[in-house]
Each structure stands twice: as structure tokens, then as C-alpha cells.
Structure 1
């Protein structure tokens, strides 16, 4: 009878633990990135009342062997497992909110230790660092240099507004349009373009085309800028074939000038088009429309906004129209995620049975992807939890009945002396 009481006590105690886990799951049904737990039970010790015996060696003996006679002594907690199933995604529209689709974790750091989390509710602090909203731990990843090239070192993700995109001097000017084949000799077509020197100072450049006599006729061009001194390449000749297409020889000398701003010399390639092509300048019997289609220089720009793509790459949009890579959020994978140790704030640390973190990036060492502007919700299944609650309650009641019944039996033993 005493054994049954102790078995009932173990059942009460461990079902209470299971109820604690269920209660924690339900309490975190709306916690961002929360992963539910489950409790499994295992049999406790078994007391041997009689050992097993094997059949005797004499085959004529009809007696067989006997099985062991054992009495169980209750049950224990077998395991409390973390369930890392994918939670549903909720769209938030906040560009610093990130959700992982896959088995990976975000990495955050307090400056001395790394932590891992599925909760991507991040924000920027006063220093432009991307931090966890729950405790301010800094999100880890790699940063890019001024040219948008990512480095290899894992460090704090910093996105300071006021970051600048350097100016780039114009290297090529591309022309398009038509020069009228029926224009009279001496007709001039003029177009103007703004180019940039190495300091980002805008320089106005004027290109003039003058019709020349000949068969087929040619056009001489001259290039000038009021904001500097021309060094070379300020003039040349364009030749067209009998079909109005550019013909050899095409000008190859770049236009070079020294800006008055004090910047280094600017060397600009004049791209009039390809021989026999129609993408650049042409000479047909139509009005002259020759213009500069584009130039590839720009001035200095300030960071205005940023976005994050599915690989966790952070792109910055600058006031000069340039988009540069600023950094990339790192992801960590584990051989045994269920072995991680929970430390609160939706975060985990490495344990001896989780394995070390394998650090990578979405699409590069990790099979997971990142969704910006969304959060992963809890993976708690309320229907399953309520079902578990019912079975746990019934298990608790049954073990309580074992204790009360054993007590009544003991009471009967005590009253035998009357």
C-alpha cells in the first residue's frame, strides 16, 4: 500500500509539471517567435519480487520457466522537449521586423556573449545599431565598405543615418537621336549635359554638331565646358554610311578637362554608338534630335532609407539616387536545436548537446530565408494544448484517487485491532 501511495505521489508531482509546461505554452500563445514545449513521461524504478527462471534442462520435465515478478514504483519526467516547428508569419509593415522561414536563428550579442533567437522584432537605437526590442542586444552580421562590398567579419549591424555615399566622376556620356541628313551645310545641333568631377561638383558640358559637305556628309563635333579648362578630345568628326548608320572611323579620344573646383582631371568617354548600329546617333532624313541620353557620374549623397531583402542583405537608398549594400544579417544553424538552453527574452544559448553554431547567411551557407516587414508568431497549437490539459487533469485526478484509496486501505488496517 505504501508503494501505491508513493506511485500516486510521483504521478501527481509529474502531472503538475506537465500542467506547468502547458500553462506556459498557453501564456505565450501570442509571444513573438515563441516555441512550445512538451512533456514526456517514463516509467520509474521497478521492484523485483521474484526473479525469472529458465526451463529445466530435462526435456521430460513438463515444468517451464517463470517470468520475473515486479512492481512498478511510479513514473518520472522523461523529457521536456522544445518544438521548433515553423510558426505562422504576421505582416507588420515595419522594415526592421524580420521573420525566418526555415530552421535558423538570428544572432544577437550583449558585447560579451552571443545569444540566438527566432524573434525578429528589431529596432534601431540612438547609435544606429540594429537591436532586439526586448533587451537591446545588438543584431550580428557583416558590414559593407563605402563601395558596397561586404566584409567577412561578424560584427554589430550599424545603419547610421547621415552615412554618405561618395561622389563619382563621370566616366562615360552616351548619345542618342538623329542628325538630319537633309540639313544644309553649316547647320548646328547643340545639346548640353551635366557631368560630375571627383568632388561631386556639377559641371555643364556643351556638345555641338556642325554639318559638313561631302558624300556621304559628315558632322564635326566640339565639346566645351565653362567650368574648367579643356585638356584634349574637344573635337572630332562623325561619319555615316549611305544607310544613315555610323561608319568608321569612330572617335576614340576621350574628352579631358581640368575642373575649376580643384578636383583632379575628368576623363569622359564620348559614346556616339556602334558602327552600323541604330542605338546611338543616326543620320536620316528627319529632324535633328541628337541628345545626351545618360551619363554615369553623381554627386555625394546622404542615406535616406534602407530595406532588407530575403537574404538579409541591407540596402541603403541615398539622396543622390544611388543604392548601396550596407550589410547583411547573419543566421546560425545547429545540429540539435532542441538542445539549446532557454535564457528568457525569447533567446537561447548553446548547451553541450546543441552543438556549436554554424554561422552563415540566407542563401549562402543557410537554407533559410528572411521575410522583412513580418514577424514569426508563436507555434503554440491551442487545440492541442487544451486536449493535453484535459488528459493531464484526468491523470492528476486518477493519481489523487490512488492516494486516497490507499489511505482508506491503510485506515482499514489500523482499525483491525478494534
Structure 2
């Protein structure tokens, strides 16, 4: 009878723990990066009434008779299933699609989290909402060495990029090979190009292709002229040889091996115009600019960055120029269920989780990153409410064990009277 009391008490304790776990899951239904917990029960040691007996002397064997002594919590496991995605559009929000954790530094200790709501502090360090630095690799001149030791990611917020003048432009299109109808007129194709000077000021230059129709209207030579916005012709016109339908060896002055023709601005400055993608076939003339360099001055702000699938943080300066500023590291574990929860949606490694394997997102079985989005809680609210009812009924049933046992004890006491 006393055994039933202890069984009932153990049942109350176990189901109270189930209510605690379920309640915590429900409380964190909207917590970004939260991973729900699942409780498991097991029976306790059973008292042996009599042991098993083997068949002998014409008698059959007997099975052991045992009385259980209750229930206990065997495990509280963490469910690391992917949570739902919430798109935010915020630069500092990141999501891991697949396995892995963000690595944060708390003092000298490394912690791990799936909550990807980050920001840049006053020192330019990428930190969590509680101020802990995110670990990864800081870029140097747009290059990241992810083979090195991870550390705090520092972004040069407020850094400026100086202006640069235009020195190269690439053209693409077709110059018609068709002969103009009589009376013969020169075929002319004009392409406007936006260019920058040394101060970053913009203007529109013009590249003109003019067919040399004299003495032959069907000539395959074109005169290329570059003119500034003020009407000044840059350098000397170039004769472009298109006899093969592509820029050829007869171009004068000669092109370089990459298909660039050069217009001298005087001194060390010059324009290189790439014509390797120009053609001369039948049809309409149609040409355009597909690339130029040069820029105005630009500044990086604390929200001026995007994140790639591999975790590269790409800074977007106010002039539109992009540069890799760093890369966010991702960690995986042999046994994620061995991690210890420490609050703030963070985990600590333990002797049973294995060592953290830190690397680039999207490599070595690690998930890819998604910028401008957060992973929400993976709590299944319908399941948790069901668990809550089950735990409540289990608690009530075990309390009835104690009540019934108490009534039997009272009956025994009353028999003495």
C-alpha cells in the first residue's frame, strides 16, 4: 500500500515536469530560433516478489512477479526541426536553412544559437540582440580568409570609398553590313556613355561608329570616335577593321589582346574601349554599353549590407559599389541533442555534444544562410495543447492513487477501534 503512495507521488512529479516543459514550449511559441523540448518517461526499479523458476520435475516454469515503484523522467530532448521562416527584409536578420548554428562569444566562451537577429554596434561589430559578438571572418580589401581562425566580425561602418574616374568601358552590339541605298550615305551608330571624372562628377560622353563608305559603300572599316560632353574629341579616331564580322587585325591603331582600343586623354589618363563583343552582320545596327568603371564617393552605413547563401556579408556603399566585408561562420555538432540550453535561445557544448565543427555555410553538410529572414519557433501549438491535456489528466489520475491509498490506510486504522 505504501508502494502505491510512492508510485502516485512519482507520477505527480513526472507529470508536473511534463506540464512545466509543455508550458515553457507554449510560452516560447513566438520566440525566434526557439527549439521545443520533448519529455520522455520511464518506469523505476521494480521490487521482486519472487523470481522466475525453471521447468523441472514435470512442473512448468514460473515467471517472475514484480511490483513497480512508479515513474521518472528519463529524458528531456530538444527538437531541432526547422522552424517556420519569417521574412523581415532587415539587413541584420539571418536564417540557417538546414543544419548548423550561429557562433557567438560570451566573454571567453563560445555559445551557439539559431536566432539570427543581429545588428552592428557602435564599434562596427556584428552582435546579437544581447550584445554578444557573432563569430566569423572579417574581410580585408574585399577578401575573406575562411581558412583562418574565426573571430569577431568588424564592419567598417562610416568608411568612405574615394571617387574614381572612368577608364574602361565595354560595348556590345551589331554594326550593319548591309549596303546603304543610293544615294550612298554614311552609316553612323552613336552610343552615349556615362563617365566619371577624378572628382566623381558625371557627364555623358559619346562613342560614334561611322562606316567608311568612300570609296566603297560596302566598306568593312568603321571610324570610332570618342567625344566628351563638351564636344572635345578624345585622342585620335580609330579605324576598326570588321572584315571578318568581328574586330580584326586591320584595326589601327591596333587593339590589345583583350579587344581594347585606347583613346589618350593626355598625360597618364586614357579610356580603354572594349569592342571584342561587337559584330558586323546583316541586319539593323544596334549597339550599347554593357560595362563601365568609375564611381562617385561612397559611404557604408550600419544597414548597408546583404548576406549571401554562403554567409558572405556584402557591403553596399551609398554610391552602389559592393564589397565583401566578412563572412558569418556556422557550427555543427555530432550530437546536437547533447547541447545545453543557457537562455537567450543559446546553447553550450557539452561532453556529449561533441566538439563544434566550424566552417562556411553550405559546405560540409552545413545549412545555407538566407538574409533578410528569421527562423521562428518550431513549437507545434496544437500538439502542445494536446500534451497539456494529457499531462493534466495524468496528474489527476496519479493524485487519485494517493487519495485511494490514503482511504485504505484510514480504513485499516479504523479497524482497530
Deviation at 1:333, TM superposition (A): 1.5
- 1:102-146 CA-partner distances (Å, limit 9, x unpaired): 22211122342211111112222222322211x111222223332
- 1:338-366 CA-partner distances (Å, limit 9, x unpaired): 11100001100101111112223332234
2:277, 2:19 → 1: CA distance? 78
For 1:48, what is the secondary structure of its paired residue?
Answer: strand
For structure 1, the 5+ residue unaligned runs are: 227-231
- Among 151, 156, 161, the alignment partner of 1:160 is 156
The alignment yields a C-alpha RMSD, in angstroms, of 4.0
Q: Is the 8 A contact 2:138 2:155 kept in 1?
A: no
2:378, 2:320 → 1: CA distance? 41
Q: Is the 8 A contact 1:170 1:268 kept in 2?
A: yes
Number of equivalent positions: 395
1:96, 1:46 → 2: CA distance? 55
Q: Which residue of 2 is the match for residue 142 of structure 1?
A: 137
2:25, 2:277 → 1: CA distance? 69
For 1:35, what is the secondary structure of its paired residue?
Answer: coil
Deviation at 1:79, TM superposition (A): 0.6
Q: Is 1:46 the equivalent of 2:49?
A: no
For 1:77, what is the secondary structure of its paired residue?
Answer: strand
Deviation at 1:22, TM superposition (A): 1.3
2:408, 2:189 → 1: CA distance? 115
For 1:30, what is the secondary structure of its paired residue?
Answer: coil
Superposed counterparts of 1:318-397, under 5 Å: 318-397=317-396
TM-score under structure 2 length normalisation: 0.78
For 2:34, what is the secondary structure of its paired residue?
Answer: coil
TM-score under structure 1 length normalisation: 0.78
For 2:19, what is the secondary structure of its paired residue?
Answer: helix
For 1:378, what is the secondary structure of its paired residue?
Answer: coil
Q: Which residue of 1 is the match for residue 103 of structure 2?
A: 107
For 2:3, what is the secondary structure of its paired residue?
Answer: helix
1:213, 1:236 → 2: CA distance? 16
Q: Which residue of 2 is the match for residue 250 of structure 1?
A: 251
Deviation at 1:96, TM superposition (A): 1.7
Deviation at 1:37, TM superposition (A): 0.9
Change (3 A) 1:8 1:89: same
2:175, 2:274 → 1: CA distance? 14
